[in-house]
Amino acid sequence: MALDLYQTAAQLDAATAHVGNRGDERARNMDIALATLRGADAATLNARVDAAQGTLAFLPAEAVEDPGVTHSPGPLPDDFTVLAVDGSHIDVNRHLPLRCSLINIGGCRLTYGAAPNAHMFSKPSLRTSDTDLYLADPASSASRQPVEGALMGLVRAVQEADALADAVEEAGSDLPTLALIDGTLVLWELGGDRYPAYVRSQLMGNGMLAALGRLRTMAQQRTVAAASYISLPNSSEVSNLLRLALCDYDPMGDCQRHCRAFIPGDRHCDAVNEFTDRDLFSRTLAPGERSALFASRSSVVRDSYGDHRVHFFYVNVEEEIGRVEVPAWVADSPELLELTHTLVVDNARRGDGYPVVLQEAHEQAVVTGADREAFAAMVERALEGQRLPVYTSQKQRSKRMRYV
Amino acid sequence: MTTNNQEPNRIAEVVETTTTGFTAQCYELYGAPALGSLVRVGDPAVYAVVHNVTTAALDLGRRVMARGASEATEEAVYHNNPQISRLLATHIEALVVGHDVGDATKYRLPSSPPRIHGFVYCCDANEIAAFTDGLDYLHLLTSASTPAIDEVIAANLRLAAESHSDPDAFRIRAGKALAAELASDIARLNAILRGIS
């Protein structure tokens, strides 16, 4: 047995006993956090964040409305379309005899109303050329980044956004349309200095923002909202914003100066600090309702997203609290914002708590373990067919032929 | 799922094939011919009798979930979940009962089975009358070990009788042919004969 489940179970018992012991304290903190959320004023909190600029040790959201307000979904249109795209990939694998990768983009378009219809597609693209396998600096051919690991994930995210714009274009429908991506709209990994400027420019300006720009252009001609949906979100930007409501130091929000020596749990803001946004909104949102609208203050959004600045809200889809992210041009349009909210709730209801259009896009995109093995075998067969040398690592070989 | 608008009799496509039978995916959900129907596939034609119809999820790894608790009608379940008809498929299983060799029809197994992706056609009345003019194919059906094969044989002969100008004469002829095949199993013979009349 590779993983000793008996030992793991004993460790789990000890860990969960510790969590159970904190139940009372957590309930007290939740009462404080909910009272803070319900009484929070957007202008006051935003001013506190602005005043504490640069001294906060955490990332708060910007409140577009008072954080405690809630909204019911609008009336469902008689006829409408919901579209989604998802992606999966096989990364470059040095144990394979050919340097290559594969991105599979899957999508689904569902039309509801008088003429219901469904369309599904998947489009695999094999990546073998240098332009596929490296992002090169246009100014210097000597500088290039291999497209693997985290960068592969970013390239895929950009392709998903591009495929979503393609799908809306191809649908050519005049019906109110919601175009959904699975996960976040924010390319978090492009923040900071992790990647050189030419990588950021290719993936952001010519990638994600270009795709969002195409969607916005279509939205100017017909009713199209673009959004992304995150199931079981783990973010705490709203919770972090509420920490500013509890901080009573002067100057406020200077974490390094006042709280450097505190043990987490003893700080004034710790009553909300232990909760994610999902924890809070699971107590305040009735089924179908959405939270107030917030805007991201993350550096990557601030520095790069411009007119597409990412906004978000939380929504109770009955089975869970989901997070919906929208670009600014959706957030600024009450019609598109309400359409996004209403159709996410409706589609999640049809999908037993998760938007059915995302479920089906995922099913079209998914690359299973068996697919990966079949892909590796196909690469070898293709090389053998060309009478090219096929060499795979001994590690790869041993995984395929397990023996005692 | 694709649909076929070019040839109305073309109803399915072979997705699994063996010497004695094949499985075909219907182009339309619930678009299977009646149990016992005569179908043909390939050129020269291989003839087969539908002995089983299945409708299930296309992806066998995904279970079909009940979705109608809050719907008023079964039709509303499909109307409000348009993806369903793309995720389900109807398959037919058919037993091979003969094949064409030149202008003649042979009531025995072909030397090789129909090909995967072979187009499956429902035989029209003329084709059924011509094929069932001979009844030697009943030997292949009566010796098959598929479940409820006697029901399939009775259904096939009922449908075939409708394609003949004198259905009663056909039923009598078919009864005699069955009696020759099942002389040693009177109970089984009687059960099938009751199903024909």
Residue B53 domain flag: yes
Q: Do you know the residue count of chain A? A: 404
Number of domains composing chain B: 1
pLDDT value at position A192? Answer: 82
Residue B2 domain flag: no
pLDDT value at position B111? Answer: 95
Closest CA to A393 of A55, A97, A175, A189: A97
Number of domains composing chain A: 1
Question: Would you state the structure tokens that stand for residue A364, as one six-digit string?
Answer: 């079209």
pLDDT value at position B6? Answer: 66
**DSSP for residue A71:** B
Closest CA to A127 of A103, A107, A143: A103
Percent of all residues in chain B with a pLDDT value above 70, rounded to a whole number: 97
The whole domain housing A114 covers 80-236+275-372
Residue B4 domain flag: no
Q: Do you know the residue count of chain B? A: 197
Segment 116-155 of chain A within 8 Å of chain B by CB: 116-120
Segment 280-319 of chain A within 8 Å of chain B by CB: none
Residue A145 domain flag: yes
pLDDT value at position A125? Answer: 93
Task: Summarize the confidence of residues B5-15 as an average pLDDT.
Answer: 87
Closest CA to A242 of A40, A28, A9: A40
Residue A295 domain flag: yes
Residue A178 domain flag: yes
Strand B46-57 vs strand B104-106: parallel, antiparallel, or unpaired? unpaired
Band the pLDDT of B5: cuts 50, 70, 90.
Answer: low
| pLDDT surpasses 90 at A252 | no
Q: Which distant-in-sequence residues (6+ apart) come within 8 Å of A85 by Cβ?
A: A105, A106, A107, A160, A161, A163, A164, A167, A179, A180, A181, A182, A361, A365
Mean of the per-residue pLDDT values for chain A?
90
Residue B1 domain flag: no
**DSSP for residue A206:** I
Which residues of chain B are within 8 Å of residue A363 when distances are taken between CB atoms?
59, 62
Residue A207 CA to residue A126 CA, distance in Å, equals 19
The whole domain housing B189 covers 10-196
B83–A112 CB contact, under 8 Å? no
Query: What does the pLDDT look like over A114-161, one tens digit per residue?
Result: 999 999 999 999 999 988 999 999 888 789 999 999 999 999 999 999
Tell me the nearest-neighbour CA distance from A74 into chain B, angstroms. 19
Which residues of chain A are within 8 Å of residue B82 when distances are taken between CB atoms?
110-112, 116-118
Residue B92 domain flag: yes
Percent of all residues in chain A with a pLDDT value above 70, rounded to a whole number: 95
Q: Tell me which of A28-37, A39-48, A261-270, A277-286 is least confident.
A: A261-270
| pLDDT surpasses 90 at B151 | yes
Given a contact cutoff of 8 angstroms between Cβ atoms, the answer to whether A126 and A100 are in contact is yes
Residue A385 domain flag: no
pLDDT value at position A375? Answer: 87
Strand partners, B89: B56
Question: Would you state the structure tokens that stand for residue A259, as one six-digit string?
Answer: 């709280």
Query: What does the pLDDT look like over B19-74, one tens digit per residue?
Result: 999 999 999 999 999 999 999 999 999 999 999 999 999 988 888 989 898 899 99
Residue A330 domain flag: yes
Question: Would you state the structure tokens that stand for residue A160, as one six-digit string?
Answer: 């998903």
pLDDT value at position A95? Answer: 78
Task: Summarize the confidence of residues B120-148 as an average pLDDT.
Answer: 96
pLDDT value at position B7? Answer: 79
B82–A352 CB contact, under 8 Å? no
Closest CB to B86: pick one of A111, A112, A118: A118
pLDDT value at position A218? Answer: 96
Query: What does the pLDDT look like over A174-184, one tens digit per residue?
Result: 999 999 999 99
pLDDT value at position B2? Answer: 46
Residue B5 domain flag: no
Task: Summarize the confidence of residues B146-172 as an average pLDDT.
Answer: 96
Q: Tell me which of A96-105, A176-185, A224-233, B165-174 is least confident.
A: A96-105
Residue A61 domain flag: no
Does the N-terminal peptide bond of residue B44 adopt cis geometry, omega within 30 degrees of 0?
A: yes
Residue A28 domain flag: no
Where would I find the beta strands (DSSP E) of A77-187? 80-90, 101-112, 117-127, 134-137, 140-146, 177-182
Question: Would you state the structure tokens that stand for residue A402, as one six-digit string?
Answer: 């397990």
Task: Between B37 and A262, name the one with better pLDDT.
Answer: B37
Task: Between A71 and A50, name the one with better pLDDT.
Answer: A71
B80–A111 CB contact, under 8 Å? no
Given a contact cutoff of 8 angstroms between Cβ atoms, the answer to whether A97 and A392 are in contact is yes
**Would the ipTM clear 0.85, i.e. be above it?**
no
Backbone region of residue B58 per phi and psi (left: phi > 0; alpha: psi in -120 to 50; beta: other values): alpha
CATH number of the domain that residue A293 is part of: 3.30.420
Residue B2 CA to residue B39 CA, distance in Å, equals 20
Amino acid, single-letter form, for residue A378: M
Mutation target among B67, B83, B88 for the A interface, most CBs of A within 10 A: B83
